């Protein structure tokens, strides 16, 4: 039986994207996503439109005490935010996510996708900032990350859980999604075990469990850096999304954990197509196919091959921000093409 993070339908080597696109027109971004990934569309984030649509900022509009100053997101601990924090806690306990929606200034891509009927998709996916990254990027007036503040550390999972719950409900009710997946974008999980920028694994796990506790659909984790993959897999997210182009070897050092995870119904999203266009352009469809084949060969030393194929998803390595729109389209199409080739749908 799966853990608290729910399940995702078996993707069977289908493809999707990660999150960010370089577009400024949200309708154009949504059209590009649906053209490439009609079976598992993702809701694009558009950070090039402005700071409010970048990671962390995009999910901070309901943060008690949050202030944007000099391009940084801070909280002022000298003021009393207890009433706002208590409201978040009460809403969490009641499962009331109505007031935690995405304003159009924070998620133009989400609003553009809400006008589309996605009832024919296998799965609809969106992204929310992960609690570790959020808590390490937002600082107080002394520049101390709020993840180190016990009150805020306890609040983050509940606040982001309400955001994720609102997203899940919107995907179901406004887009007609049959199955939903909210993926936590959490690159700061790379700090697990770090002596320089320490992150308490218990705090991270508690926040993840708080978020998962509010959702009916799947909850995933995307980390585009290397981390303690045993810890991440042990959280039993519905999907673990990795930069497999760079870190497949390190990920597969946890081969037994990966096998147990996939056997229990977990999905691995293998980010095998470079999101960096210069790196992508240096390769070919055959080189991508061969590189994934090498990963599959190593993984199936411990994972049943049929199970590996059933529980694998194909993606770019990360969001595609630093590219032109046509370049981003080429990366997405290469991802979709690789998926079709792996599924035997094209030579």
For residue 334, the model assigns a pLDDT of 98
For residue 71, the model assigns a pLDDT of 83
- Token pair 């996939």 in the structure block, residue: 262
Residue 12 is given by DSSP the state: T
Please tell me the distance from the alpha carbon of residue 123 to that of residue 9, in angstroms, as a whole number.
7
Structural domains in the chain, sorted by start: 26-342 (3.20.20.210)
For residue 56, the model assigns a pLDDT of 97
For residue 1, the model assigns a pLDDT of 32
3-state secondary structure of 163: helix
pTM: 0.96
CB burial class (10 A; 0-12, 13-18, 19+) of residue 260? Answer: middle
| Residues facing residue 109 across a β-bridge | none
User: What is the residue-wise DSSP string for 231-296?
Assistant: HHHHT-BSEEEE-HHHHHHHHGGGHHHHHHHHHTT-EEEEEEE-SSHHHHHTS-HHHHHHHHHHHH
Residues of the chain falling short of pLDDT 50? 1-3
Please tell me the distance from the alpha carbon of residue 195 to that of residue 25, in angstroms, as a whole number.
42
Which residues lie below 8 Å from residue 216, measured CB to CB, with a gap of 6+?
6, 168, 180
Please tell me the distance from the alpha carbon of residue 198 to that of residue 201, in angstroms, as a whole number.
9
């Amino acid at each position: 039986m799966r853990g608290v993070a729910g399940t995702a339908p078996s993707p069977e080597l289908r493809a999707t994207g990660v999150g960010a696109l370089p577009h400024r027109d949200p309708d154009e971004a949504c059209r590009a996503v649906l053209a490439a990934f009609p079976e598992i569309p993702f809701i694009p984030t558009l950070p090039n439109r402005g700071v409010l649509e970048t990671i962390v900022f995009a999910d901070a509009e309901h943060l008690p005490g949050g202030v944007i100053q000099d391009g940084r997101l801070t909280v002022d601990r000298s003021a009393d935010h207890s009433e706002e924090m208590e409201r978040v806690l009460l809403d969490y306990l009641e499962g009331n996510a109505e007031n935690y929606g995405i304003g159009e200034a924070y998620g133009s891509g989400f609003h553009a996708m809400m006008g589309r009927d996605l009832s024919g998709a296998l799965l609809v996916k969106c992204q929310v900032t992960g609690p570790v990254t959020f808590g390490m990027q937002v600082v107080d007036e002394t520049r101390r990350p709020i993840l180190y503040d016990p009150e805020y550390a306890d609040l983050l999972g509940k606040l982001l859980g309400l955001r994720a719950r609102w997203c899940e409900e919107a995907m179901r009710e406004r887009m007609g999604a049959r199955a939903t997946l909210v993926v936590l974008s959490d690159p700061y999980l790379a700090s697990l075990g770090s002596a320089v920028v320490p992150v308490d694994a218990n705090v991270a796990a508690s926040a993840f469990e708080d978020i998962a506790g509010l959702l009916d659909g799947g909850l995933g984790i995307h980390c585009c850096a290397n981390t303690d993959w045993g810890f991440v897999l042990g959280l039993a997210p519905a999907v673990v999304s990795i930069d497999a182009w760079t870190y497949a070897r390190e990920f597969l050092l946890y081969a037994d954990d990966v096998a147990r995870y996939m056997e229990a119904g977990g999905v691995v999203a293998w980010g095998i197509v470079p999101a960096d266009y210069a790196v992508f352009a240096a390769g070919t469809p055959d080189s991508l196919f061969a590189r994934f084949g090498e990963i599959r060969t190593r993984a199936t030393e411990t994972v049943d091959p049929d199970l590996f194929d059933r529980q694998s998803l194909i993606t770019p390595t990360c969001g595609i921000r630093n590219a032109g729109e046509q370049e981003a389209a080429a990366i997405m199409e290469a991802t979709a093409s690789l998926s079709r080739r792996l599924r035997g749908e094209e030579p």
